[in-house]
Structure 1
């Protein structure tokens, strides 16, 4: 595909990209903020319909039946045989009120946009749609079908979207994930596995002054367990609560543990070690229940990812971009999608950084070249 034509078409989509970015960032849409998530889903569904895609809006709920919002699936048929899945998400990590406190702002000196979710993942989501529009503008339809999915619960482990993602991934010949590129421009070629482990300790209350021997101190057990768990590679005890009053032997405690590992064997070993330690009585009379939340295994990349990287490097060379890549410690839907066996590449949104913080930013100067790269990559692998 002609690189100059790619860039020109991407440049033509930039005003709409920026306007849409402002419209999405102005809505509070943290995970489980269902009203806001449905609002941004409806807006994105409208953009996708304007782009000539066939749009389906699918309600998403967690295992307990609680609504999480809507997923948007936009499809664009081509004349080829390959189905390309583009994956992004609608939710952020920010509480209600953040959008009003920090609406989209642009620093003209640095060409950076700021706002909640501007990078993670509104920029990537809209870049994916812009790439579809670029291909349509250039009559480049060598693919069989492009499927763009936007889910409402990625930031909480895609607890409701997993069946949908698995279904779409099983139908895909290649999967391109639209998390933004790293702040140095790297694409993402591998991700650590992640899980949250909730451990509830059950003791027995007693008066701390009169008859402490009748109690079973869950706080003491939690302290011992915290020290033991911190000795496991890749484990962090991030939350610890215990007891109710200082003059009562604590009858309960709760730990929430973060697990991260780059290799599947290390990931499984860490989870097994946590279960073993939690099941070992550290204080007489204290028992534990363990719940693993949204386990997300490591994504190692592999030969399929390497082939997608070579294609990206080829397209990038034509556009004057040097394509680099890296593994990262954060997990994303790429981990889940890779379980299908289809080749996966991530970090294909524009360049950004400061994710999950008050200074989250998107490099607006990277939007046009990265949209061109993504559109060219879709055409190349088709």
Structure 2
């Protein structure tokens, strides 16, 4: 590695550290606002322009726009890690591996997006959108993302790469539900027969919901967070549980949605209410096919490490843009692993390679659009 390249990598790592040590759990509005300040300052230094700060429902998003958008770089600066995680998962670079909360998902990708645009000879037609609520399902940024992507020829999502550095050419769609059960309270010792046990009804419904999955179709329907009751000697009057649904096709998403809203109770006197529905439509392979081909060509021309294109179960904001018919390629950020887990990490040597790939892809699409 030459001196200039080594200096560039050191600066990249310093910029990543700056973002990582500014903790930004999605559910902490003040923390997300502080993180937005940090990202804005970094981007202003690299791009010579301050971002537009967009606050929706108290959540802070940042946008840099250079002319009419034709290529959108999409990322998020919020994480799943609570304040204080740095005490147990400190930022660290050793043996060629970068560690710390949010390094892989996806603060390294945010830094890469800003550095890639900074390295372009011509930024005309590029937009960078860094949101602050992706880990919550993008409730406030969804329409912002769709508006920014509408007239673009390509959306490049800086979420981390799949295993082995593969790009993400398809993602499952996501539906999110809250199942709310109402029963009737009674004393559990004196007259339990007067009650309607919401816990028992919820148990029936959990089993019915779990049965909606279809392994052959790749559909998972998973009851997750559950709560019920008020005291140990009271028949529970209320219960609720969350449901996470992942699907490969819109048809499966619609089937599960209809079945969820058709759920009925089994205990006399119990009632059930279903909240929620589809959050992200599937990102199908057709949305990324041509962009992936261009990525392979750019990588071959630059002598970069070869990579595959894979379908993954997790969703991203790329589902929104792909679902709207905008060509979208995902997984262009960090190479590593351990998203949301104790072993979250990034392979340092691959950061420079993926930055080269991203710069080449942007330039390639812009050149094609301008032809």
TM-score with structure 2 setting the length: 0.91
Q: Which of residues 351, 354, 369 in structure 2 aligns to 1:370?
A: 354
Instruction: Kindly state the Cα deviation for residue 251 of structure 1 after the two structures are TM-superposed.
Output: 0.6
* Structure-1 residue corresponding to 2:65: 75
* Structure-1 residue corresponding to 2:46: 51
* Structure-1 residue corresponding to 2:369: none
Is 1:182 the equivalent of 2:162? yes
Is 1:93 the equivalent of 2:80? yes
RMSD (Å), alpha carbons:
2.0
Asked whether the 8 Å contact 1:203–1:215 carries over to 2, the reply is yes
Q: Which of residues 285, 301, 308 in structure 1 aligns to 2:291?
A: 308
Q: What's the secondary structure of 1:350's corresponding residue?
A: coil
* Structure-2 residue corresponding to 1:346: 330
Q: How far apart are the structure 2 equivalents of 1:50 and 1:127? A: 14
Asked whether the 8 Å contact 1:26–1:100 carries over to 2, the reply is no
Residues 157 and 287 of structure 1: CA distance in aligned 2, closer, same or farther (over 3 Å):
same
List runs of 5+ in structure 1 lacking aligned partners: 1-6
Q: What's the secondary structure of 1:43's corresponding residue?
A: helix
Q: What's the secondary structure of 1:373's corresponding residue?
A: helix
- Map Cα deviations across residues 261-300 of structure 1 (whole Å, 9 max, x no partner): 11111011112111212xx121111111211167111111
Residues 163 and 347 of structure 1: CA distance in aligned 2, closer, same or farther (over 3 Å):
same
Instruction: Kindly state the Cα deviation for residue 243 of structure 1 after the two structures are TM-superposed.
Output: 1.3
* Structure-1 residue corresponding to 2:252: 266
Q: Which of residues 292, 296, 302 in structure 1 aligns to 2:276?
A: 292
Asked whether the 8 Å contact 1:10–1:369 carries over to 2, the reply is no
> Segments of 4+ in structure 1 off by > 6 A?
7-11
Counting only pairs closer than 5 Å after superposition, residues 20-169 of structure 1 correspond to structure 2 as 20-52=15-47, 54-62=49-57, 67-68=58-59, 70-77=60-67, 83-108=70-95, 111-135=96-120, 139=121, 141=122, 144-169=124-149
Q: How far apart are the structure 2 equivalents of 1:261 and 1:10? A: 42
Q: Which one is further off, 258-267 or 320-329?
A: 320-329
Instruction: Kindly state the Cα deviation for residue 50 of structure 1 after the two structures are TM-superposed.
Output: 1.9
Q: How far apart are the structure 1 equivalents of 2:173 and 2:196? A: 35
- Map Cα deviations across residues 56-111 of structure 1 (whole Å, 9 max, x no partner): 3334334xxxx22x11111235xxx8710000000000111112432210122xx1
- Map Cα deviations across residues 183-211 of structure 1 (whole Å, 9 max, x no partner): 31100011111122111101111122332
Instruction: Kindly state the Cα deviation for residue 301 of structure 1 after the two structures are TM-superposed.
Output: 2.8
* Structure-2 residue corresponding to 1:3: none
Asked whether the 8 Å contact 1:175–1:345 carries over to 2, the reply is yes
Q: How far apart are the structure 2 equivalents of 1:239 and 1:196? A: 12
TM-score with structure 1 setting the length: 0.89
Q: Which of residues 262, 265, 286 in structure 2 aligns to 1:281?
A: 265
Instruction: Kindly state the Cα deviation for residue 165 of structure 1 after the two structures are TM-superposed.
Output: 0.7
